[in-house]
Structures are given as C-alpha cells and as structure tokens.
Homo-oligomer: A and B are copies of this chain.
Amino acid sequence: MTHLTTAPLLLEPLLAEVTAPHCGGTCIFLGTVRDGPEDGGVTGIEYSAYDVMADAELERIVTETRRQWPGARIAVRHRLGLVPAEEASIAIAVATPHRADAFAACRHVIEEVKQRLPIWKKELRADGTATWVDPSGHPSMVGPQ
C-alpha cells in the first residue's frame, strides 16, 4: 500500500519525493472535499476502496505516465476513510525538466485516477444523511447514519 493512506495528506514530503536536479518544473494537484453552496452542507466524505487493486492501479498509472513523459518524477497519495470538508483526498506531484510537461503529466494522472481507481465515496451531510456519490449522476440515498 504505497499510494494509499488514512492520514492527512502533506505536501512537503510529496514534493521531496519528486524533487531532482534535472527537473525545473513541478505541478501538484490536490483534490479536496468540497462544501460549496450547491453541495448541500457536506461535512465530509467517507472514502472506501478495493484497496489492493486501487494501489496496483495507481502504480500502473504512474508507470504509464512515466513512459509517456520520460524523465518525469511522480508521486501520488490517495486518502481513505473519513476526509473532512476542505481537506485533500488526493495529492499528485509531478516534476519534469520543463513546465509544460509537468502540467500535462499531472493532469493525465488525475484524469486516469478518476476513470480507473476502484474507490468510492459516501457524502456525509450536516443533517445526518449519507449518499453514495455516482459521478455519472445518479446519487442514491442510503439513509441517516
């Protein structure tokens, strides 16, 4: 389980993993639990995973991305368990010799993550309800918890 953790995600250690003398540009992406006006009072999200596969899939995404952007240094962490609103559920750091590649490769990783990781989220709301999130657009209430 190198890419999964239940602890809060920290940026500096992730950055240290990708820093290298030949890399002049680093792009970091953070996905955070949102509670905007349209989000209905989300207090946090409970992330669950098919953890062994999620970890393997992340490793495959990293390997494929390195192949597409040779020389890229990549670190990824996905948080599991309860992630409170405004905290990060995923952090991706990519360092490359030149900046355009850092942006492109980092974007590539998050798009692959969204499409491939066997991870699920249940939105927890202030009113006590919990909802499985279906990004394809069909939320399904699972009742007060």
Contact = CB atoms under 8 A, between A and B. Distances in A.
Interface in A1-47: 10-12, 15, 19-37, 39
Contact of A99 (B29, B35, B88): B29
A25 B31 contact: yes
A119 interface: no
Nearest to A20: B86
A107 B24 CA distance: 15
A88 B16 CA distance: 12
Number of copies: 2
Contacts of A88: 26
B23 A26 contact: no
Nearest to A12: B11
A85 B26 CA distance: 14
A78 B16 CA distance: 20
A54 interface: no
Contacts of A85: 21
